[in-house]
Amino acid sequence: MQKRKLGNSGLEVSAIGLGCMSMSSGYGPPADKEQMIQLIRAAYDRGVTHFDTAEAYGPFANEELVGEALQPIRNKVVIATKFGFEIDLETGKRGLGTNSRPEHIRAVAHAGLKRLRTDSIDLFYQHRVDPDVPIEDVAGAVKELIAEGKVKHFGLSEAGVQTIRRAHAVQPVTAVQSEYSLFWRGPETELLPTLEALGIGFVPFSPLGAGFLTGKIDENTKFDPADFRNIVPRFSPEARKVNMALVDMVKAVADQKGATPAQIALAWLLAQKPWIVPIPGTTRLHRLEENLGAVNVDLTENDLRQIDEASSRLKLEGARLPEAALKMTGR
């Protein structure tokens, strides 16, 4: 497995990480815990050293899973987790909105350390920007945790460029995590140039368009009732029917390169910048192996140009998130 550094921070991780959310939430009922422990360890055996979780996934269940799975190899991997939602740390009951008050950040960090079975969190993201707490206070709270050795690196998720600049001035930001793929290219306008200028790494989540770019989803696909895609406008049957044109384009490239659509989608991301580290999620070993195979797919300048030209002619339908969730991004 190739390695990459997240911006100028010196934090080195596998070129493709593993997003662990889907093992516990988001895409239907939680998967079998023992099977997921084995999958996480299988990822490490195949070269993955970057594992992404959050207190909100479950809540708490995903951190506990990741902590148990990685405990035997803790000093050989990078664990990223997140704070910032209103969650009762005793009951796990989730309230409305965000909570990035400094005292809450500290409490979340201490609880996360226990669940993750570790003495230090490698990368601690603010999950969503809290409009009620100045970002300078948030960065300052994480800076104190770093000084105490409880956190090593600071990250932001779905933050706007002005927030990133303000936070970075208080405590250097190692990585920003946001959605980015051929299915959603919004970060290209402002976010990527800002990260490059500041020397911050980028960790795209949903790099396979929440599964759409695998080619295994069409307008007739039925999702589990607990699957968040049921409420995403871009995943309505009508939108999927229109958006299949993008999948057809990716499939055509995959056929030319002797790869799968998922591998093309991930290879395309890796080719954008050397400090981009996607974190596709899965609950299946064969999908994990397929995703990791993307590092061996060489997209030439001509390939990339053809993909850009073909995708620029497509008009994708539907917002990438429900309206309420969109209001929490880009702040």
List, by residue number, the catalytic residues. Answer: 57
Q: Read off the DSSP letter of residue 209.
A: T
Closest CA to 207 of 133, 141, 294: 294
Residue pair 53/62 in contact (Cβ under 8 Å)? The answer is yes
Q: Which residues pair with 19 in a beta bridge?
A: 52, 281
> By three-state DSSP, how is residue 124 classified?
strand
Residue pair 310/249 in contact (Cβ under 8 Å)? The answer is yes
Closest CA to 160 of 144, 137, 174, 176: 176
Residue pair 280/43 in contact (Cβ under 8 Å)? The answer is no
Upstream peptide bond of 172 is cis (omega within 30 degrees of 0):
no
Identify the helix (H) or strand (E) that includes residue 50: strand 50-52
Q: Which residues pair with 81 in a beta bridge?
A: 124
> Could you tell me whether strands 94-98 and 85-87 are parallel, antiparallel, or unpaired per DSSP bridges?
antiparallel
Q: How many angstroms separate the CA atoms of 16 and 194, rounded?
A: 22
Q: Which residues pair with 157 in a beta bridge?
A: 177
Q: Cα dist. 328→13, 41, 98, 158, 234 in Å? A: 28, 33, 9, 8, 18
Residue pair 129/156 in contact (Cβ under 8 Å)? The answer is yes
CB count in 10 Å sphere of residue 261:
25
How far apart, in Å, do the first and last CA atoms of the chain sit? 35
